[in-house]
Amino acid sequence: MRGRIGHILTSVALVVFPALAESLMQHAGKIAPHRANPYAGNERAREAGQKLFDENCGSCHGEAGKGNGRAKTPPLTTRFVHDADPGALFWVLRNGSPSHSMPSFQHLPEAQRWQIITYLQSLGEEQK
């Protein structure tokens, strides 16, 4: 019985959590201006972004952005994040979202936010 409930909860989480990330990203996609990532395809920037992600984001979004089982901190390994406009991701990092318990990372220098985005958009590549 307990296993069945676990299965149901896991199934619900798999559908609901990415949807939460999508709702914030969808909102950002509508209002954020298009911006090109100055580090796109830069391997050093991706590695630096991974380090920054571990230090600033990993405690909520889980190791390698796989999520930590909480609704408000969804996994970031989805195609939705991978294919998002970099400007939308930049908007989310700059503004955060109080209603999603997502803090603003405006205090990080712009270069470091772009390094994090470079890493984030590399996460979903295996799934494509």
Partner 1 sequence: MIESRSALLLAMLIGCAFRALAGESPFFVTYTDRLEEPGNLEIESKNATGRPADSGRFIGSALEFEYGLRGWWTTEVYLDGQATSGDSTIFTGFRFENRFRLTRQAHWINPVLYVEFEDINGADKSLLEVVGHDTEADLAVPNAIARQEKQRELETKLLFGSYWRGWNFSENIIVEKNLAHAPWEFGYAVGVSRPLALEARPDRCAFCRENFTAGVEMYGGLGDTSLLQLRDTSHCVGPVVDWNVAKGVDVKMSPSFGITGTSAPLLLRFGISYEISQFARKLRGRQ
Dist CA 36 CA 34 (whole Å):
7
Contact 53, 62 (CB under 8 A): no
92: contact with partner 1 by CB under 8 A: no
Q: Which stretch binds partner 1 (CB under 8 A): 9-17, 18-26, 101-109, 120-128?
A: 101-109
Residues 52-81 contacting partner 1, CB under 8 A: 52, 54-56, 59-60, 68
106: contact with partner 1 by CB under 8 A: yes
3: contact with partner 1 by CB under 8 A: no
To the nearest whole angstrom, how small is the minimum distance from the Cβ of residue 80 to partner 1?
A: 21
